Structure 1
Amino acid sequence: MSTQSFQLLIVALVTQTTNAYSNSSSPLGWSNMCQSASNDSNVVISCHVGVDDTWDLNHFRNWSAILDNGTRVSLEVICEPGASVCLPWPYRARHLDTLKVKDCINRCYFSDFNRPEVLEIPDSLRVFEGYGVTEQFNVMDMLSVDLKSLSPTLECGPLFLEVFIYRNTKTDLIFPEGFMPKGNDEITDDFVQTARDVNKLNHVCNYENMKVYDVSQRQDSSSASIYATFINSRYPKLTMLNFSSTEIQTFPSILLTWKGLKLEKLQVLDLSHNNMSRFDLRGGPQSYDAPIKVINLTYNSIETIAEAEIASFLSPVAQVVDVRA
């Protein structure tokens, strides 16, 4: 075969492969578990993942990389019991606008932490909703992450989100054989130190478009985790903040420093169905145009209200504070 003929053959093969991607309504390997629908430049791909299926965001990346400019894709993934997906943080993929995941085991959370080329993919995600997701963390992968040197991309994740819902999720730690896990007290100490390390990061995560932040129905939240979430982040358009049913035992006072956290638009703070017995709504002198309307403290362990707590109602924090049992 001549050199020219060989080159023509390569061009033909590349063209056929490209056309296979562009003409397919879903990524290669997804046809048996996904259906797609399109309307103008909007594409919706709905997947039902079984225990024997392989659903990998990298397959979507290969497919979406050659879509026409202006195309927006919504991915909706539902897993059967025991089924898993590979969904690496921070969910970067071209043209990905909406990502909804339900009842899946995510086995690839850390897989992009050592792939800088992935972090060059444009950030386009606008809506993320996760329900009943189990984050399967390999302990050795976690220990390999140097939190103090995290890039803003990994620390902040999708910055253009309007809606972030991560409800009823849990963490499954995978220990290597022979590894002795720490006691609860040591794990708590490590978490507090992690929160302090996050506080020392030089960058600030500015979520300019986010309106809904919902991490309710989780069993691993605490005042320390809330502190770590907000101390280096800004949410200037946030209207709904939900930490209900997260077993919080103390009122997260950091959420009352509205001006410093850029939460001036917050209207509803939901802390219902937790284990708080005391609260203090005095966050210091406030000056903002749209004070919070509702603080929901219903179904906590509030049996009596101290004089100082009554006095905190007088501060201009909220129009309604609901403490009903």
Structure 2
Amino acid sequence: METLWIIIWAITSLPTALPAQPNVSNTTLPVLRNVSLPTGWNTMCHTSVAFVDWHITTLSENEVSNMMQVSCTLQANSSLNLIDFRNWTARMPSSQKFAVQVSCSNKAVFRAPWPMKAKNLVFLRIKDCIIEDYFVEYFDPQVSQIKDEIRVLEIKHSVIPIHFLKLQELVKNYTEIVSDSYCGPVTVEKAAFNGIVFEPRFPSSFGAPSDLSDVPPGCSDPKDFVSDTLGGKRTLSPDEFLKMIEIGEALDRLIKLFLGTDIGFSCTYENLILFDESNSASLSSMDVIKKNSRFKELLTYNLSSVGFTRVPTELINWRSYTHFPKLKYLDLSHNCISDFDFADFDVTDNVSAPETGVIDLRYNNITQLNKKTLDSLFNLKSATVLVQDNPLDCSCESVSHLIRLLKNRSSLGRYEYLRRLQCATPRQISDSRTQVGQLTESRVCPTTPQTDLIILCSALGATVLLLIVASVLLIHYRKELIIITFTRLRIKLSCRKSPPLPMKTYDVFISSCDDDREWVKKNVIDALNNFKGKSFNMCLRENWEYGVPIADMIAKSIDTSVHTLAVISSQSLRDEWRHFEFSLALHQSLQEKRRHLIVLFKEDVSKTDLLSDMRKYVATTPCLHFNKRLYRDRLIYALCHDEKTNPTLSARSSDTSLESDSTFVSL
């Protein structure tokens, strides 16, 4: 009963949303005689004094009184063309208005190009028809020459065929659509599109849907159309494409294209009061709300039974100035919505907020009234949300917050009905037909010592599991963790105490061939110079003394440097001087009994290309690899720490230990 009163309040508060019927039945109207309808219409239609069930506010009383009603009944396989009627009314005086009602049966066809314009046509109702030629005039500029006069447009339980090639043309050339076809009848006061089905139609040469893969040469392939024209990320089979159109996804993509900024039209509906799209699951829910559109007077928007699983983005800010600032009743009932979070009305400095409206979410799939949902309800000041008749789950997690709210508040104002909500689950509560206001937290959230023990054990188990996982990760990545904390945070985590670095003139001597000079500059020298934790003093060949033999300078550079960094590449392996530098640096490591020589592989090289001493060294000593993650951190860490040489290095006198190992030891 309370729900009924809320609906009655919502309806009676709309000044023009559901107006009283006109009293034309009590007015003496002239009888229309000697009216000859156009060819085709004269055999299936008859004329009478018009009586329309909508009060047309933008017509004068005289125009309404003299309106002619044309009622047409189309039998099986018959056809009627709106263009014939348009050509006929073009010769009529402007004062003679028409109300056309077309009813079809058994696949009768009514040809009516959108936006269904005709001179003096103010009322058009189409029912149970196949509407052909719907997209024919989308690119015709002559449509704009016809005055837009429709005040009431209703299309119910009809089929609109979508011919494949026409849809392809629309998508490819959508920027050329004329504004009148894009916006539709902007003078309309009431628009209703109920039970409309968009039905795919392919050229006969395409064959049956299962045979569409063999499209004749020169024909547009539906698979290419989906993947290329509609921007699909994968190629769909013909049957998938057919299914895609049946469920409306292709139309949704088409409409999204229309919503783009490329067309540049601004649609303003000055007089639209009631818009009804109920029971039209195949229609896009937002096909009228195009970019830059504005519905100045819209009071009622009916989107019930359209198959929504969520509230469309365009309706979250439900009474936005961009679309419908005066909306009073938004009907989203009989859908599958499970969650909602409406944004409140944003009052600007120059515009005052309209009266509180109603958002109807009854008969959906709302199962939880948790804290988030209740906050959304009570924080929304611009509307009252109706959530009755939903399959409410009265488990502890779902309604515990609601129970505490009902207990702490003596009055809920406009949401007093929450106390009388019925539970759908669990069964022991729903069978007793207990209302939410009668529930207690102890009933829906029972606690026992055994339950507390289970919770405690679960928490301990989860903690132990997290500790085990963390320990495994720390052990597995311990080397990387030590390196990163040193290079990024300047923190030493190593448990081993590394010996101090010897005091020498240079921190590192860089051994590389001339072909690698630019690479070394970018990836080694710059990396070391950019490190803020230490200033590296590098010995480079550019700094050698002139006139001194090369061999002497190499020996001096190695002897006066803490480390020698040998850059190994396919080019350096062919350089005899680099071989000499490697041998001296290796000898220095053995002599000092520390890792003086650090090997950096610029790229992957075959171990067979390495000299004998190189193969032995890289097989037993950690090396740096440029293509390995954390390369720069590993380089800096290696140059800032000292390690003893592998005691088995000098004992390696053969290559047999390397034959089964295709990779080198990595730092």
Q: TM-score under structure 1 normalisation?
A: 0.85
Residue 12 of structure 1: aligned partner: none
1:76 CA drift (Å): 0.4
Correspondence for 2:111 among 86, 103, 110: 86
Counterpart residue type for residue 68 of structure 2? V
Correspondence for 1:33 among 24, 44, 48: 44
What's the C-alpha RMSD, in Å, of the aligned pairs? 2.4
Moved more, 93-102 or 139-148: 139-148
Contact conserved, 2:301 with 2:327, CA < 8 A, in 1? yes
Correspondence for 1:207 among 253, 269, 272: 269
Residue 580 of structure 2: aligned partner: none
Residue 361 of structure 2: aligned partner: 297
Instruction: Establish whether residue 322 from structure 1 lines up as the match of residue 386 from structure 2.
Output: yes
Contact conserved, 2:347 with 2:353, CA < 8 A, in 1? no
1:136 CA drift (Å): 1.1
- SS state of the match for residue 314, structure 1? helix
Residues 323 and 221 of structure 1: is their aligned pair in 2 closer, same or farther, counting only changes over 3 Å? farther
Cα deviation per residue 1:185-211 (whole Å; 9 max; x = unaligned)?
798478347415523131211001000
- SS state of the match for residue 99, structure 2? strand
Correspondence for 1:279 among 320, 329, 340: 340
Residue 169 of structure 1: aligned partner: 196
1:58 CA drift (Å): 1.1
1:154 CA drift (Å): 1.2
Residues 79 and 205 of structure 1: is their aligned pair in 2 closer, same or farther, counting only changes over 3 Å? same
1:307 CA drift (Å): 1.6
Contact conserved, 2:77 with 2:106, CA < 8 A, in 1? no
Larger radius of gyration: 2
Superposed, which structure 2 residues align to 1:179-258 within 5 Å? 179=212, 180=222, 181=238, 182-183=240-241, 188=249, 191-192=252-253, 194-200=255-261, 201-221=263-283, 225-226=285-286, 229-257=289-317, 258=319
Counterpart residue type for residue 187 of structure 2? F
Residues 189 and 64 of structure 1: is their aligned pair in 2 closer, same or farther, counting only changes over 3 Å? closer
Superposed, which structure 2 residues align to 1:48-63 within 5 Å? 48-63=73-88
Counterpart residue type for residue 231 of structure 1? K
Residue 141 of structure 2: aligned partner: 116
Greater per-residue strand proportion: 1
Counterpart residue type for residue 131 of structure 1? K
Q: Distance in 2 between matches of 1:235 and 1:85?
A: 29
Q: Distance in 1 between matches of 2:255 and 2:40?
A: 39
Q: Distance in 2 between matches of 1:291 and 1:255?
A: 18
Instruction: Establish whether residue 159 from structure 1 lines up as the match of residue 186 from structure 2.
Output: yes
1:43 CA drift (Å): 0.6
1:220 CA drift (Å): 2.1
Instruction: Establish whether residue 270 from structure 1 lines up as the match of residue 331 from structure 2.
Output: yes
Residues 144 and 113 of structure 1: is their aligned pair in 2 closer, same or farther, counting only changes over 3 Å? same
Tell me, which stretches of 5 or more residues in structure 1 are unaligned?
Answer: 1-21
- SS state of the match for residue 260, structure 1? coil
Moved more, 285-294 or 162-171: 285-294
Higher RCO, Cα 8 Å, sep 6+: 1
Q: Which runs of 4+ in 1 moved over 6 A?
A: none
- SS state of the match for residue 158, structure 1? coil
Counterpart residue type for residue 182 of structure 2? E
Aligned pairs, number: 302
Q: Distance in 2 between matches of 1:57 and 1:95?
A: 13
Residues 267 and 194 of structure 1: is their aligned pair in 2 closer, same or farther, counting only changes over 3 Å? closer
Contact conserved, 2:114 with 2:137, CA < 8 A, in 1? yes
Contact conserved, 1:26 with 1:45, CA < 8 A, in 2? no
Q: Distance in 2 between matches of 1:123 and 1:206?
A: 13
Counterpart residue type for residue 32 of structure 1? T
Residue 167 of structure 2: aligned partner: 142
Contact conserved, 1:293 with 1:318, CA < 8 A, in 2? yes
Residues 263 and 229 of structure 1: is their aligned pair in 2 closer, same or farther, counting only changes over 3 Å? closer
Q: TM-score under structure 2 normalisation?
A: 0.43
Cα deviation per residue 1:106-157 (whole Å; 9 max; x = unaligned)?
0110122243323311111111011101111111111112223322111001
Tell me, which stretches of 5 or more residues in structure 2 are unaligned?
Answer: 1-32, 51-64, 207-211, 213-221, 223-237, 390-667
Residue 17 of structure 1: aligned partner: none
Cα deviation per residue 1:81-113 (whole Å; 9 max; x = unaligned)?
211110110111101000001000001101222
What is the identity percentage for the equivalent residue pairs of Structure 1 and Structure 2?
27
Residue 14 of structure 1: aligned partner: none
Greater per-residue helix proportion: 2
